[in-house]
Amino acid sequence: MEFGDKIGAAPGKVEYLYSPSKGIAAQISGSSPGIFAMYMVAVSMDGRRLLDEIPATGIGTTAVYPQPSVVTYIQCDEFGMWGRNCPACQKYFRTNHIIGGTCCPYCAAWAPGLAFMSKDQRKYITACYDAFARALREKKDATVEVANITDRNPAWHYSELKQQLHFECSHVDCRAQTDILGDYGYCPRCGRTNARKLFLERIEKMLIRWEDVDNTIADRRDRSEVWDDMTKNIVGDFEYLAKHLRKKLLHFPMTPNRLKRLEELNFQQPLPANESLLQWFDISLLTWPGSGEIPKRIVPDSDVPFIKKMVQRRHILIHNGGVVDQDYLSFSADTQVVLGERVRIRSNEAKRFIEIVRTMAENLMDNVEHGFEE
């Protein structure tokens, strides 16, 4: 399925059954052989306010929820997911995590589940509430049938947009399912990032390509072009990841001035960025101090001059055709080249740089994700 395809709701219906003695009871049924799940929301008797989400309970137990209220039902789509809109950044995603605190996959803001209610779901709740009110007013059964609503009244069209990336949280106790735009995102249920797996896969691919080119391409110029590209790309990949992880840090308490500086932090220059992160949060790209589950990991100090040189080489590859200028000589501390010379990145340098950047990325991920745990 391509991005943007409309996804229909799994067919099912909600009936509000009228009984002169007992009042109104809700009955739900699914006609779909596929996934059928609903989640419940208690609405105030006047239909104006959403009071609470009602967790599903097992047979023989009754959920406790605000009284009096009208229980409405929001059905999942045919993939067992529900659309959500972040109350902070307004962006849309889909997930099967709907009850309780929710983390926005895009901006990492936490808010109660109800705050993430999508517009379509609000319409659906209204339809349920209206059926309830009709049953009460007319003293007879009223039904909300998803398929019928969808066909007869486009305003009630309950469908969701399929997003670009589907991921399952890799944490063993979570496993929430989510659809997002783009690729890096936070799990709505536990707030962990999905970037670890994606980033490491990307690096793995790059190293396989390195191996392949190193073994099969003999022409010096052709090889050199690949090492140049890899040097350029790896920093870009790192920057993209770091910007994603920064979203988490932006929710930490800090002064407006620091917030602004963090927003502007330039990850294309990992070493100065590292200095700032160390100062502000006591976390480092060069060190992950280790925890019970993840062993300590460091980029040795002896690698720092090399990182500095490679970052500056990347800079002139992008901005100066790879030709050494005065800035390069001043900032890189590279004594092997002269002004006007075209830098040449050797195969082992490209590989070493990729591996160091991978370590810095892993350090950053662990520091952001686990460095603040008690």
Question: Which of 188/322 has CB closer to Zn ion?
Answer: 188
Question: Which of 181/298 has CB closer to Zn ion?
Answer: 181
Residue 174 sits in the site that holds Zn ion (CB under 5 A): yes
Burial class (CB within 10 angstroms; exposed 0-12, middle 13-18, buried 19+) of 230:
buried
Q: Which of 7, 54, 104, 131 binds Zn ion (CB under 5 A)?
A: 104
Q: Which of 106, 158, 210, 353 binds Zn ion (CB under 5 A)?
A: 106
Question: CA angle 102-107-108, nearest 5°?
Answer: 45
Stretch near Zn ion under the rule CB under 5 A, chosen from 84-92, 196-204, 302-310, 350-358: 84-92
Residue 176 to residue 167: CA distance in whole angstroms: 8
Q: Which of 187, 234, 286, 299 binds Zn ion (CB under 5 A)?
A: 187
Classify residue 18 as left (phi > 0), alpha (psi -120 to 50) or beta: beta
Burial class (CB within 10 angstroms; exposed 0-12, middle 13-18, buried 19+) of 321:
exposed
Question: Which of 91/352 has CB closer to Zn ion?
Answer: 91
Could you give the string, one character per residue 227-266, with x where binding to Zn ion holds by CB under 5 A and - elsewhere? ----------------------------------------
Tokens of 301: 């100090």
- The Cβ of residue 112 has, within 10 Å, a number of other Cβ atoms equal to 13
Specify whether the CB–CB gap between 221 and 135 falls below 8 A. no
Specify whether the CB–CB gap between 130 and 72 falls below 8 A. no
Residue 52 to residue 114: CA distance in whole angstroms: 7
| Region 3-62 residues binding Zn ion, contact defined as CB under 5 A | none
Shortest approach of Zn ion to residue 170 CB, angstroms?
Answer: 8
Residue 111 to residue 345: CA distance in whole angstroms: 48
Could you give the string, one character per residue 151-170, with x where binding to Zn ion holds by CB under 5 A and - elsewhere? ------------------x-
Residue 100 to residue 81: CA distance in whole angstroms: 15
Q: Which of 88, 99, 136, 200 binds Zn ion (CB under 5 A)?
A: 88
Specify whether the CB–CB gap between 200 and 286 falls below 8 A. no
Residue 71 sits in the site that holds Zn ion (CB under 5 A): no
Helix H or strand E encompassing 225: helix 220-249
Residue 213 sits in the site that holds Zn ion (CB under 5 A): no
Q: Which of 28, 89, 165, 329 binds Zn ion (CB under 5 A)?
A: 89
Classify residue 341 as left (phi > 0), alpha (psi -120 to 50) or beta: beta
Question: Which of 107/198 has CB closer to Zn ion?
Answer: 107
Strands 142-145, 12-19: pairing is antiparallel
Question: Which of 178/312 has CB closer to Zn ion?
Answer: 178
Q: What is the size of the binding site for Zn ion (CB under 5 A)? A: 14
Residue 190 sits in the site that holds Zn ion (CB under 5 A): yes
Shortest approach of Zn ion to residue 175 CB, angstroms?
Answer: 7
Question: Which of 189/314 has CB closer to Zn ion?
Answer: 189
Q: How many helices (H) and strands (E) does the chain have?
A: 9, 16
Stretch near Zn ion under the rule CB under 5 A, chosen from 38-46, 187-195, 237-245, 288-296: 187-195
Shortest approach of Zn ion to residue 193 CB, angstroms?
Answer: 10
Stretch near Zn ion under the rule CB under 5 A, chosen from 66-74, 87-95, 296-304, 339-347: 87-95
Binding site for Zn ion (CB under 5 A): 86, 88-89, 104, 106-107, 109, 169, 171, 174, 176, 187, 189-190
